[in-house]
Amino acid sequence: MATAKKTTTAKAPAKKKAAPKKKPKELISIIVPCYNEEDMIDLCHKAITKAIDPLPYDFEIIYINDGSSDKTQELLEKTYKSDKRAVIINLSRNFGKEAAMTAGIDSAKGTALIILDADLQDPPELIKELIKIWKDTGADVVYGQRMEREGETWLKKFTAKSFYSVINYIANNVEIPKNTGDFRLMNRRSIDALIQLREKHRFMKGLFAWIGYKQVAMPYNRAPRAAGETKWNYFQLCNLALEGIAGFSTVPLRVASIFGLIISMISFIFGAFIIFKTIFFGSDVAGWASLSVMISFFSGLQLLSIGILGEYIGRIFGESKKRPLYFIESTSTN
């Protein structure tokens, strides 16, 4: 009787499990507007890289050259060649800091962005703290709130404090946090919201507050400027304050209207008194001095009201032209 032979089959070698793919790091954009900052470019970049190198994120550092007339662009190109994280945006002329920041915000690719000044008054070492607060609180915006303002005169501190008090009192349903600048972190949702605001007369501190969402303060002490001189004089600061007031409040127009109404009523009553006096008691030459003072006062008040009205009409004129906020001459990116 034949016996069946047992057959054996060779086992296929076990497949090795594929190594899990590394999760890509989260990208954070850092925006640095620059205008005639040749003394600060190297110092600024070294301070930023020192702060971000230990952090578990990818970074792009976007420098915006706002039409500088010194060696800023040359130094930025050297920075770009030495660090692949650097992105250089060279604007076609000087459009102002608000427009330069907008250019950086428009170009940011990160899930969040951080705005820094090139003068290092807002210390880059606080980037870690900004990110920590953002992650811990789930806030859309984390803004730096200055507790101390080293290197600034008492007059500048006083005028800044007064400005924030005034604008928050008269602003239409927008509260701008006191003692804040542009130093802040914004997540992608708030970035996308801000990009939609394309008004020409830009007061960025007001726009940051206007978009809403969850915003959290990070108290810090502002350092003095590391090198070079500030590019802001009192005239420019006053102009920026006017931009903020005219851009976020119609109260000056209402005040002018109220003054006009009050003065019209007083003038009507005074005119009736003069007519009554002339009819029943006759007229004399007395009162020319007071009449001259009144004419001068009311004329000045009229000119002030026309000037306030002109500020708003000028902004309407600027917006109606629909010009782009800036033009880019060149971009260097890795």
Residue 219 shares a structural domain with residue 116: yes
* Average predicted confidence (pLDDT) for the chain: 78
Residue 22 near residue 94 (C-beta atoms within 8 A): no
How do residues 183-193 score in pLDDT, each as one tens digit?
Answer: 889 999 999 99
How do residues 15-26 score in pLDDT, each as one tens digit?
Answer: 555 555 667 788
Residue 115 shares a structural domain with residue 183: yes
Across the strands, what pairs with 328? 91
Residue 145 shares a structural domain with residue 257: no
Q: Which helix (H) or strand (E) holds 91?
A: strand 86-91
How do residues 284-300 score in pLDDT, each as one tens digit?
Answer: 556 665 676 677 677 77
Residue 255 shares a structural domain with residue 220: no
Residue 42 shares a structural domain with residue 105: yes
Q: Is residue 246 part of a domain?
A: no
The CA distance from 148 to 151, in Å, is: 10
Residue 273 shares a structural domain with residue 218: no
Give the pair of three-digit tokens for residue 74: 């040359």
Q: Is residue 128 part of a domain?
A: yes
DSSP for 274-294, written as a single string: HHHHHHHH---STTHHHHHHH
According to the model, what pLDDT value does residue 148 have?
A: 72
Q: Is residue 176 part of a domain?
A: yes
The CA distance from 115 to 117, in Å, is: 7
Residue 221's domain is classified under what CATH number? 3.90.550.10
**Cα distances (angstroms) measured from residue 222 to each of 5, 7, 151, 160, 181:** 89, 83, 9, 14, 10
Q: Residue 33 — φ and ψ, nearest 5°?
A: -70, 140
Q: Is residue 263 part of a domain?
A: yes
Domain that holds residue 255: 251-320
- Name residue 209's amino acid: A
DSSP for 54-70, written as a single string: TSSSEEEEEEEE-S-SS
Q: Is residue 11 part of a domain?
A: no
Give the lowest-confidence range in 69-83, 94-108, 169-183, 212-226: 169-183
Number of domains in the chain: 2
3-state class (DSSP) for residue 216: strand
Residue 146 shares a structural domain with residue 54: yes
Q: Is residue 68 part of a domain?
A: yes
Q: Is residue 12 part of a domain?
A: no
Give the lowest-confidence range in 128-137, 171-180, 237-246: 237-246
3-state class (DSSP) for residue 319: helix
Residue 40 shares a structural domain with residue 115: yes
Q: Is residue 2 part of a domain?
A: no
Residue 159 shares a structural domain with residue 43: yes
Say what the pTM is: 0.72
Residue 80 shares a structural domain with residue 129: yes
